[in-house]
Amino acid sequence: MRLNKYISHNSKYSRRDADKLIESGEVTVNKQKIENFSYDVQEGDHVAVKGTPVKERTELTMIVYNKPKGTLVTKKDDRERTTIYHKLPGKFRHFIPVGRLDYASEGLLIMTDSPTVAEVMMRSGLDRTYNIKIDKPLTPEMEEAMREGLVLDDARAGGHEKSKIYAMEFEPFINYEVRGVSANFTKLRVTIAEGKNRELRRFFGHFEANVLDLKRVSFGGIDLNNLPTNKTRYFTRREYDDMHKYLKAVRMMEAQAKKEDQDRINAERLREKKANQEQDKLNRAKREPQKKDAKKKGSKK
C-alpha cells in the first residue's frame, strides 16, 4: 500500500495531509526519513508521523451509514464543503468508506476500520441497488442499454465538469424495475455490479436525462432498510458472518490465482530451459565436425 494511503487509512490524517507531512520530512519508515511519495509500505515496516508510530488496525468493525445529500465522501475538502466526517460521531472518524456517493447522492455507505477489507470490497463486483428518479419518461433505447450494456467514447454528460474521465463502458444492469411514471419523470430501482465514477448519472445523461434523486439502498446484500438519514448502525451478526465468508472466498481465489500464475511462470521457465538445452546440443553437434577437421589437419602437418 502506498505510504500516503497507509497513513490515511490508519490515522486521523487525510491523504492530502499525509502528502504534506511526507513533503515536510515528518514521516519516517524504519526510523529513516522518507520523502518518496510512491513508497510502498511492506509488511514489518515501522511508519511514524512526527515521531508517533502509525499502527495498522487489525480488528474488523463494519458499520452502515445513511449518507445525507450535500456531503462529500472525503476526509477534507479544499473548498471547505461539508464532509461525512463532519457528520459522523467521533469514534467513526477514522473509518474508511467502501466506495463513494457523490455530493448530491444519498443512502447506504458501508464503512470499516480495516483498510484491507475496504480495498477488497471496493474491487468487488458485489451488487449495488439504487432508487433513482430521472426527469424523463423511460425510452426503449434506455431499456435496451440497461439490458445489453453500453459503450461510450464520450460519457461526459452527467459527469462532474472537472472530471477527466471521457470514455466509459457500462455493463448490463443486473435488474431494473419501474416504480413510478409521469409525463415529466420516471422512478426506478436499479441494480448494477459496478460503482464507476457517477456511473448512473453518466448512463442516463447519454440519453439527455438528468438524475434528480439517487439513493443507494443496498450493497452486497447489506440493506439500508429504515436507518434514518445521517445515522449509523453496526453490522448484524449475519452480516458479519456473510462478510467473513466473502473475505475467505476472496482470499482463496487470490491464492488460487497466485498459484496459477506461479505455475505458468514455472512452466515457462521449464520450456526455456529445455529450449536452451536443445540449442546447446545443436551447437555441440555443429562444433564436433569442426573439431575433427581441425585434428585431421593437425595430424597431416
Measure the CA–CA gap between 244 and 130, rounded to whole angstroms.
25
Q: What angle do CA 245, 67, 152 make, to 5 degrees?
A: 80
DSSP 89: -
Q: Is-catalytic flag, 102?
A: yes
Among residues 17, 45, 102, 127, which one is catalytic? 102
The secondary structure element, H or E, covering residue 129 is strand 128-134
Measure the CA–CA gap between 63 and 89, rounded to whole angstroms.
12
The secondary structure element, H or E, covering residue 66 is strand 62-67
Q: At what angle do helices 237-300 and 115-123 cross, to 10 degrees?
A: 80
Measure the CA–CA gap between 171 and 182, rounded to whole angstroms.
27
Catalytic residues: 102
